[in-house]
Amino acid sequence: MNKKKSSFSTQGQRADIGELEIYRILGNRYADAVGPFVFLDHIVPKTQTKVNKTGTGAHPHRGIATLTYIISGEDEHFDSAGNYAMVHSGGVQWMNAGNGIIHDETLNYDSRTDSRITHAFQFWINLPAAIKAQKPAYLAIEGNEVPVKDLSEGKGWMKVIVGSFEELRSAIPDYSAQFLYHIHLEAGASFTTEFPDDVEVAAFLPLHTAILNDEHFDAGDFIEFDRNAGTIELKNENNEACDFILFGGERYKEPIVAEGPFVMNSRLEIANAYREFYNGGYGKIDYEKQRAKISGSKA
């Protein structure tokens, strides 16, 4: 099978929130979506000197699933459907916003470890029109629950955050063919995987340079590939381990209309999303009640 060719590469734009240093990777000037993925923010590794108490602030979503993958730190989640969880390093927060929800997240260093580094990714996954009309849903997945496998010959490991790979299967629901992999390669190691026709695929290099299908790319590069069937070879020629984020899926075939925190299928649906939000249709977050419910269950 032929190697897939890169279509373009680009770097993200700064989009900081409070003390968090963030780069907006997707959308970018070349692409609005990769498969069902319409958004990617990289919260870059940073030593945290003080506890973040304000988070992102309560805000609405509709028509998408948000996915926060925490490399290092702990992420506290609240939403107006009554969901609350604290997920730690290696874990995932997934929220299907469905027909409307308000949520808030606060990322801090992991209180269970000596590390004060915070590092995470947030994706938005576009939902099919039928799912956009359903009630919201939520999953909290700790790091030890994320499917992982060691690669042969001590080359590294691979985690399946969304979708499946060989015997690995994520607990996050699939509403279309989609995948999100975290691949960790030791110095000098390589890994190859293949994709069929009409699958949209992108890679992101969060921290190190790497070789992808014989092309050199820099740390911070987002790379999209052609849609022909073919393989992608990831190669780490550094003197230290290197991480790759590989994601995509089948092309989203319904119209996409995005504005602010809403991704719908028409301008009218966007207008309805705003109207229902301003009319109080998404509910409210009861921070103290949600925290107390979790504390009470541990007593």
Residue 233 belongs to some domain of the structure: yes
Q: In what order do the strands lie in the sheet with 230-235?
A: 190-195, 230-235, 210-212, 215-217
Give the residue ranges of the chain where pLDDT is below 70. Answer: 293-299
CA 243 distance to own-chain centroid: 15
Residue 92 belongs to some domain of the structure: yes
- Range of 152's domain? 6-282
Residue 297 belongs to some domain of the structure: no
Provide the number of structural domains found in the chain.
1
Residue 33 belongs to some domain of the structure: yes
Q: In angstroms, rounded to a whole number, what is the distance separating the alpha carbons of residues 234 and 248?
A: 16
Q: In angstroms, rounded to a whole number, what is the distance separating the alpha carbons of residues 232 and 212?
A: 7
pLDDT for the residue numbered 288: 82
pLDDT for the residue numbered 299: 45
Give the CATH number for residue 242.
2.60.120.10
Is 0.85 surpassed by the pTM of this model? yes
pLDDT digits (tens, 9 = 90+) for 106-133: 999 999 988 899 999 999 999 999 999 9
Residue 298 belongs to some domain of the structure: no
pLDDT for the residue numbered 297: 52
Residue 24 belongs to some domain of the structure: yes
Return left, alpha or beta for 283; rule: phi > 0 is left, psi -120 to 50 is alpha, else beta: left
- Which of 195, 163, 193 minimizes the C-alpha distance to 177? 163
Residue 287 belongs to some domain of the structure: no
Q: Is 277 helix (H, G, I), strand (E, B) or coil?
A: helix
Residue 288 belongs to some domain of the structure: no
Contact at 8 Å (CB) between 96 and 174?
no
